[in-house]
Amino acid sequence: MARSDRLIDSITIIDVAREAGVSYATVSRVINNKAHVKPEKREAVLRAMNRLGYVVNQQARGLASGRSQVIGLLVQNLGNSWMGAIIRGIDEQLSTTGYDIMLYTTHRRKESEMAYVGAISRGMADGLLLILPRDPQAYLESLRRQRFPHVLIDHQGIDDQGAAVGVANWDGAYAATRYLIELGHRRIGFITGNLEMASATERLAGYQAALTDHDIRSDPTLVVEGDFLQPRGFTAGQILLSLPERPTALFASNDSMAFGVMEAARDRGLRIPDDLSVIGFDDIAEAATVHPPLTTVRQPLEQMGRTAARMLLRLIEAPETPVERIILATELIIRNSCQPPPT
């Protein structure tokens, strides 16, 4: 059957089935990305669709099923490897389900976040994933009243009612601080993240607990507030390295700020790790390639994305599914940016 024989809009899955030599049920399974289709039949259907110019009518599918087959994804920005790793995990999990991703970027503006959530929950998508939301209190109750499926990623501490995936921030920070103490460091500077975020306060608490457990007096001058961005890591590093008795080690609440600390140290003529030990948090790809390679706390970022996507799909398919709040383990990754303090 030639493509020019009829209008493309009038081509149906029955035509595709006839062209491919399969049942129309098989064509439907291929279109909806279902399992249990032999590879050769799937390929025959895809070739037939291409020859006939058949285009899936997503709107019609949504009307027929009562679903849009779209997942909303809300992020602050796309400018770092941390976010990219989580999104890769989400994409991998959804790639075989027939769901598309509708991405919204708020650029850290709370008013944009609230507006986008409202639009998504009014029928543009079947569910919503929110990565490190800035102001979830402004709309969480509304999402619950609507019974709209949603999962928070890396934002614990809001309440205990919503589905969420996070990591053991306190444990990771405690392990990193303990490692520095075991190397012999006693003056350990700490750069927090944005303290509006639970992950930042949990990491600060883990750092402080490790000092207390090892009988090291907490010095407030050794803690500087950051924002998870590299320029602030540089500025905070300069502040800490300007102290009359400067720290022998600096622990930044994420890798991006740790890179800023390393720049600040080099700017002052200090060598890492000979003069200053530096440790980060996240284990983004660049952590292994900077000089020296950065010791850091690994978050299972792609696993976070995959886990959250699976949770959301369960909520879409079975709205009465009990709410899950999953905390994934962290791991200390030892590289070359830390050593015992200079004597």
Residue 338 clears pLDDT 80, i.e. is over it = yes
pLDDT at position 323, please?
A: 83
pLDDT for the residue numbered 319: 85
Residue 341 lies in a domain: no
68 in Cβ contact with 99 (< 8 Å): no
Structural domain containing residue 15: 3-52
Q: What's the pLDDT score for residue 176?
A: 98
Count of C-beta atoms within a 10 Å radius of residue 195: 13
Whether residue 120 is contained in a domain is answered as yes
DSSP string, 267-330: HTT--TTTT-EEEEEE--GGGGTSSSPPEEEEP-HHHHHHHHHHHHHHHHH-TTSPP-EEEEPP
Distance CA 160, CA 78 (A): 28
Provide the sign of the torsion angle of the four alpha carbons 334, 237, 301, 154, taken in this order. Answer: positive
**pLDDT reading at 1 higher than 70:** no
Instruction: Indicate the number of domains in the chain.
Output: 3
Domain-located, residue 63? no
Give pLDDT, residue 5. Answer: 42
191 and 291 fall within a common domain: yes
> In the prediction, which pLDDT does 150 show?
92
Task: Note whether 320 and 246 are same-domain residues.
Answer: no
Same domain, 85 and 230: no
Give the pLDDT score at 61.
54
CATH code at position 188: 3.40.50.2300
Max Cα-Cα span within the chain: 85
| Residue 186 and residue 77 in one domain | no
Q: Is residue 12 part of a domain?
A: yes
Calculate the alpha carbon distances from 134 to 121, 126, 130 in Å: 18, 22, 10
pLDDT at 104: 84
73 and 180 assigned to the same domain:
no
Report the range out of 44-48, 92-96, 192-196, 300-304 with the highest average pLDDT. Answer: 300-304
Query: Is the domain of 295 the same as that of 305?
Result: no
Confidence class of residue 2 from pLDDT cuts 50, 70 and 90? very low
Mean pLDDT value of segment 122-132: 85
- Mean pLDDT confidence for 315-323: 87
Q: Residue 141: how many CB atoms within 10 A of its CB?
A: 12
Residue, of 16 and 296, whose pLDDT is higher: 296
Whether residue 334 is contained in a domain is answered as no
pLDDT band at 158 (very low <50, low <70, confident <90, very high): low
266 and 241, same domain (yes or no): yes
Average confidence (pLDDT) over 96-112: 81
Please spell the DSSP secondary structure of 181-212, one letter per residue.
Answer: HHHT---EEEE---TTSHHHHHHHHHHHHHHH
Is 332 a member of any domain? Answer: no
Say yes or no: 197 and 287 in one domain.
Answer: yes
What whole-number distance in Å separates Cα of residue 329 and Cα of residue 324?
16
In a domain, 15, yes or no: yes
CB within 8 A of 329, min separation 6: which ones?
A: 167, 168, 171, 300
Query: Are the C-beta atoms of residues 82 and 228 closer than 8 Å to each other?
Result: no
- 22 compared with 255, residue with greater pLDDT: 255
pLDDT given at position 146: 84
| Residue 292 sits in the same domain as residue 143 | no
> Quick one: pLDDT at residue 145?
83
Comparing 104 with 206, which gets the higher pLDDT?
A: 206
10 Å Cβ neighbour count for 63? Answer: 11
Structure confidence at residue 219 as a pLDDT band (50, 70, 90): very high
In a domain, 323, yes or no: yes
Mean pLDDT over 302-311 rounds to 95
Q: Tell me what the mean pLDDT of segment 103-126 comes to.
A: 79
Question: Percentage of the chain surpassing pLDDT 70?
Answer: 90
Is pTM beyond 0.85 here? no
Per the prediction, the chain carries an average pLDDT of 87
